[in-house]
């Protein structure tokens, strides 16, 4: 069985990383128009750098939780059953990888990468970024930005995601509010293909009505329970 899993900020909430739209979430405390758009970066790069430097340090201090580990376990177990887990995340943290997952598709980029606006090179990056930061490839300073996707920019790996959806026998969304497209539209795309869809979230998302089934509760409880149930199913012949 090929399973397409889409994760959002909710899967990292119990690792101490804030979500965006819950009460007290990032966008209730900060204005995304001033921090997460190319225009904001052009107008006030220092403030945008400070915001992402803070988030980068927060991810360094966080640890994967039982939900991340359960997905890594599922990804490792599926090939022996003739299947595959396509793990697509909207998150810019690396908690899936640190839990042992591989080939994670970061459609909104990664907090631990930086990109040069002068030469376009993308680099692994764990240090703070600033307007004086020079690109290791071209040496120019002043053009390094977090290699994440801001509002108004095109998400990454869309072809790979479409291929993953086309090959899926099951679509599962975990910890996402279902308000940001194109990710929020993947469940409808899966339904049009006639495959089962399952939502795992703390509460019904904006697209809850599109899903066939759902499990609501903290991801550290609901995701391991779902993975155990999948792995307990008899292996398809």
CA distance 101 to 168: 18
- Only segment of 77-85, 138-146, 187-195, 199-207 that touches ligand APR (CB under 6 A): 199-207
Out of 20, 41, 52, 112, the residue judged to bind ligand APR by CB under 6 A:
20
What is the widest separation between alpha-carbon atoms in the chain? 59
Q: Which of residues 66-95 bind ligand APR (CB under 6 A)?
A: 90
Q: Is 108 in the active site? A: yes
Nearer to ligand APR, 19 or 133 (CB): 19
Stretch 154-193: interaction string toward ligand APR, x if CB under 6 A: ---------------------xxx-xx-------------
218 binds ligand APR (CB under 6 A): yes
Q: Closest distance between ligand APR and the C-beta of residue 179, in Å?
A: 6
For every residue of 68-115, DSSP letters joined together read: HHHHHHHHHHGGGGT-EEEEEES--S-HHHHTT--S-EETTEEEEEEE
What's the N-to-C CA distance of the chain in angstroms? Answer: 11
Decide if residue 207 touches ligand APR (CB under 6 A).
Answer: no
Two tokens at 222? 């609901």
CA distance 54 to 173: 27
Show the CA angle centred on residue 23, arms to residues 126 and 215, nearest 5°: 90
In degrees and rounded to multiples of 5, residue 139 shows phi and psi of 80, -10
Closest to ligand APR by CB, 142 vs 218, is 218
Q: For the residues of 109-140, what is the DSSP string, one character each?
A: EEEEEEEETTT--EEE--S---TTPBPTTT--
Among 3, 6, 10, 94, binds ligand APR (CB under 6 A): 10
Answer yes or no: is 219 a known binding residue. yes
Cα 228 from chain centroid? 22
Binding mask 127-146 for ligand APR (x = CB under 6 A): --------------------
| Catalytic residue, candidates 106, 108, 123, 157 | 108
Asked if residue 202 binds ligand APR (CB under 6 A), the reply is yes
Q: Any contact of residue 196 with ligand APR (CB under 6 A)?
A: no
How distant is the alpha carbon of residue 69 from its chain centre?
A: 15
Catalytic annotation, residues: 108
Provide the annotated binding site for Zn(2+).
Answer: 116, 119, 135, 138
User: Which residues would be at the binding site for ligand APR (CB under 6 A)?
Assistant: 8-10, 13-14, 19-22, 25, 90, 108, 175-177, 179-180, 201-203, 205, 218-219
């Amino acid at each position: 069985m090929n399973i397409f899993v889409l994760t959002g900020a909710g899967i990292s909430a119990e690792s101490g990383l804030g979500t965006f739209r819950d009460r007290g979430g990032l966008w209730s405390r900060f204005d995304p128009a001033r921090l997460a758009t190319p225009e904001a970066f052009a107008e006030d790069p220092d403030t945008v750098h400070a915001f992402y430097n803070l988030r980068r340090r927060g991810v360094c201090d966080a640890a994967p939780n039982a939900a991340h580990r359960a997905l890594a376990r599922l990804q490792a177990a599926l090939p022996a059953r003739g299947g595959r887990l396509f793990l697509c995340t909207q998150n810019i943290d690396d908690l899936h990888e640190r839990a042992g997952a591989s080939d994670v598709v970061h459609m909104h980029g990664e907090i631990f990468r930086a990109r040069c606006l002068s030469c376009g090179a993308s680099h692994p990056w764990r240090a703070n970024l600033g307007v004086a930061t020079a690109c290791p490839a071209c040496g120019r300073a002043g053009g390094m930005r977090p290699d994440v996707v801001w509002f108004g920019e095109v998400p990454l790996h869309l072809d790979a995601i479409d291929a993953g959806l086309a090959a899926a026998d099951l679509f599962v969304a975990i910890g996402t509010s279902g308000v940001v497209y194109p990710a929020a539209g993947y469940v409808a795309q899966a339904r049009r293909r006639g495959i089962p869809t399952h939502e795992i979230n703390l509460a019904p998302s904006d697209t809850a009505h599109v899903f066939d089934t759902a499990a609501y509760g903290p991801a550290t409880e609901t995701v391991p329970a779902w993975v155990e149930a999948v792995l307990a199913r008899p292996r398809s012949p």
